[in-house]
Homo-oligomer: A and B are copies of this chain.
Amino acid sequence: MARTEDLRKIATRLRIHSLRATTVAGSGHPTTCLSAADLAACLFFREMRWNPKDPNDPANDEFVLSKGHAAPLLWAVYAEAGVIPVKNLLDLRKITSELEGHPTPRMPWVKAATGSLGQGLSVGVGMACAQRLDQSPARTFVLMGDGELAEGQVWEAANAAAYAKLRNLIAIVDVNRLGQSDPTMHQHDMAALARKFRSFGWNTVAVDGHRIASILAAFKKAGRGGKPTAILARTLKGKGVSFIENKNGWHGKPLKADELARALEELGCLPDIDARRFIHKPKPFRKRKRVVAPGLPRTPYTEKTATRLAYGNALLALGRVDPSVVVIDGDVKNSTYADKFFEAFPGRSFQGFIAEQNMIGMGIGFAAKGYVPFIATFAAFLTRAHDQIRMAAYSSSNIKVCGSHVGVSIGEDGPSQMGLEDLAMFRAIPGAAVLYPSDAVSAEACVEAMAAHRGLAYIRTTRPATAILYPANESFAVGGSKVLRKGEGDAVTVIAAGITVHEALKAHESLKKEGFGLRVIDAYSVEPLDAKTIAREVAGTGGRAIVVEDHFAGGGLGDAVAQALAGKASLAHLCIRELPRSGKPDELLRKYGISADHIVRAARELVAG
C-alpha cells in the first residue's frame, strides 16, 4: 500500500509529465493538472480499486475526468500505471496520438468524452446507478473543477444522486480558485461550496488538496449516511511551481522552454518510484449474464394511434426481451408513454424530473456500463441537452433518444412546446440515426431498429393519433424509405415523414380524381436518408419533387433531400417558415403551409413549371 511519501513522489512525477507534455505540444492546460496532481495520485494509486489490464473489467471502480482540460494529468496517470508507455506522453495533442487535448474514448480508458464542463457528474450518476443495478461493490469517482460548479447541470446531477441515494458516488472538486478569465465566484470560500452540496443532499468533506494524509482521510468518510459524497479540496492552480502557482492568466498556457527548465528545477528530478506496484486490484466480480431474447413482439394496431403511444408499447416489449434496456424520462412519462415501461420495470426506470441535461449525461453513464438507455421528453426540450447529446456522440455512446410532441401538429399548447428544430440538431451529428415514423407500426419497428443500431439513435414521435399505414410485420431498416403510392406517369414525387405522410396521401387522393399522379415516399429514415430510392423515384416523375415536413426550414428533411437531389430535381419545400402559434392541429398545418391542400398546389405549380 502506498505511503504518504510514495504518493507525494508519484504526484511529483504526474506534475513533471504534465508540464513537459504541454510544453512539447505547445498548448494545453498545465496549471490545472498541477492543482489536481495530489488528488489524482491518491485516487489512482491508493483509493481506487482497478485492474490496469482491462478498462472493461466490471470489478473496476470507474473514473470520470469532468474537468477535461486536465487531460495531460490523466494521461500521466495511465503512463505511471503502465497502461501506456511514458514516452507517448510527449505525443500529446498530435494528430497521430490517442492522447487528445481533452479526453475522448480514442483512449480506451476514457468512457465518456469530456471538455465541455459540468457534464461529468451526470455521467458518474449513470455509472453509479448501473453499478447498483449490477449489484457491484465498485464505486464511481468524478474529478471536477470549481469553475464548472457554475454549470446548472452539476446541480441537476447533484439532485439526481441524492434522490437515488448513491453512496457509491464520490465527487472530488479541485477548488483551485481560478477560472479561465477571472477568479471563480466563490474562490476559496470552502464553506460556501460545502453549503451548496449539503443543501442538495450530499455529504461533504473539505480538505487541503495538497496534503496527502488529509486526502486519504477524506476518502474514508465517503458514503456515510447512504449519501453521495463531495470531497472539496482546496488547491492552488499551478501548485509546485512558484511563478505560476495561484496566479491568474495561466489557464490555457503551456510553459515556454526556459520556463519549463525553471519549473523542473523547482520540482526536482523525476522521483524514482514505480507507481504500478501501488495499484489496488479489485476483488473479482462478474455481472450476471443478461440474455436478450430474439425478436420483438409487435402490438397489433387497427385504429388510429399516436406514434408516441406506439413508442411506449414498443419500449415495454423491448424491456421484456432485453434486460439491458433502462429508461429515463423527464417528468413527462404520461405524455411520451414511457410510463408503460416504468410500471412494468420500476427497477430499470429512472424519473429524470425536469432536468434534460442530466438525463442525457446519465444515459452516457449507463451506456458506458453496457446498458441501453432510452431517454425521452418533448422534442422541444431536448434542445436543452444539445451539448450533452453532442458529447454523447464524441463519447461514441450507445444512447437512444425519443423526442415526442413534434411540430405544429401538437396544436394548442403553442410554440414553446413544439419540437421544430430537433431534426436539424440530430442531423448535424455524424453517425446518428434519425427516425421519424408516420404510424404506430413503423414507430414500433423504428424502436426495434434503434435498439439494434450501434450508437446514437433518435426517434421523433407525434402527439395526435394517425392512421395505420403498414401491415403489422413490415420491417423498417435504418436508411430505408417506403414508396407508398406509385403509378405510371406520375407527375411529381412527394417526400414526407411523420404527420405529413398523411397529408401527402390525402393530396394523392385528391389529385387522383383529376388524373394527376402523385408519387408518395415515406422518408421515415431522415438520416441516413434513402437517397438512392428517392433519387430513382424522383427521376421517374420528371425530376419534380416536393418535400413536406413539420419542422423549421433549416436542417431538416428538406435540406437532406436537397443535398441528395442536388442537380437532379426541381424542389418545392413545404415547412414551417415563421414562428408558429397556438391553434388546432389542422388549422396550424394549414396556416403554416404543410397541409394536403398546399401539397396539391405545389404539385400543380411544379408541373406548370
- Residues of A at the B interface (CB closer than 8 Å) are 25-28, 68, 93-95, 97, 100-102, 104, 106, 113-118, 147-148, 150-156, 159, 163, 179-182, 184-185, 192, 195-196, 198-200, 251-252, 329, 331-335, 339, 351, 353-358, 380-381, 383-384, 386-387, 390-391, 393-394, 396, 411-417, 420-421, 424-425, 427-431, 527, 543, 552-556, 558-560, 562-563, 565-571, 573, 576-579, 581-584, 587-588, 591
Contacts and interface: CB of A to CB of B under 8 A. Distances in A.
A211 B428 CA distance: 51
A421 B412 contact: no
Contact of A393 (B97, B427, B429, B579): B579
Given A196-B199, A331-B180, A390-B383, A95 B152 contact: no
Given A182-B351, A199-B195, A559-B555, A424 B413 contact: no
B181 A147 contact: no
Given A199-B195, A581-B104, A147 B569 contact: no
Contacts of A151: 152, 156, 354-355, 384
A579 B430 contact: yes
Nearest to A251: B334
17 contacts: A25-B412, A93-B414, A102-B417, A115-B415, A115-B417, A116-B380, A150-B354, A152-B152, A152-B155, A152-B355, A181-B339, A182-B351, A380-B390, A428-B554, A429-B554, A559-B559, A565-B566
A543 B566 CA distance: 11
Contact of A421 (B26, B428, B562, B591): B428
A384 B386 contact: yes
Given A100-B581, A150-B353, A150-B354, 4 more contacts: A115-B414, A115-B415, A148-B354, A420-B428
Contacts of A95: 581-584, 587-588, 591
A181 B333 contact: yes
Residue from A153, A411, A415, A427 whose CB has the most chain B CB atoms within 10 Å: A415
Contacts of A381: 116, 387
A85 to B, nearest CB: 19
A393 B554 CA distance: 14
A68 B416 contact: yes
Contacts of A113: 415-416
B354 A416 contact: no
B428 A415 contact: no
Contact of A562 (B355, B431, B559): B559
Contacts of A104: 414-416, 581
B430 A578 contact: yes
A432 to B, nearest CB: 9
A446 to B, nearest CB: 19
A565 B252 CA distance: 43
A32 to B, nearest CB: 13
Given A100-B414, A582-B101, A354 B93 contact: no
Nearest to A591: B95
Given A27-B412, A184-B353, A566-B571, A152 B150 contact: no
Tallying the copies of this chain within the complex gives 2
Contacts of A106: 581
A93 B588 CA distance: 12
Residue from A104, A391, A394, A563 whose CB has the most chain B CB atoms within 10 Å: A563
A397 to B, nearest CB: 12
Contact of A386 (B101, B386, B414, B569): B386
Given A104-B581, A583-B94, A163 B180 contact: no
A448 B147 CA distance: 33
A116 B416 contact: yes
A588 B578 CA distance: 37
B424 A555 contact: yes
A101 B412 contact: yes
Nearest to A573: B563
Contacts of A334: 180-181, 251
Given A331-B181, A554-B555, A569-B566, A391 B413 contact: no
A386 to B, nearest CB: 4
Contacts of A384: 116, 151, 357, 386-387
Given A353-B150, A555-B427, A571 B582 contact: no
Contact of A101 (B329, B332, B417, B429): B417
A547 to B, nearest CB: 10
A416 B428 contact: no
Report, nearest first, the 3 A-B pairs whose CB atoms are least far apart.
A152-B152, A115-B416, A95-B583
Nearest to A105: B579
A568 B555 CA distance: 20
Contacts of A386: 383-384, 386-387, 421, 425
A358 B563 CA distance: 36
A413 B428 CA distance: 21
Nearest to A122: B152
A386 B419 CA distance: 12
B353 A179 contact: yes
A185 B198 contact: no
B581 A554 contact: no
A576 to B, nearest CB: 8
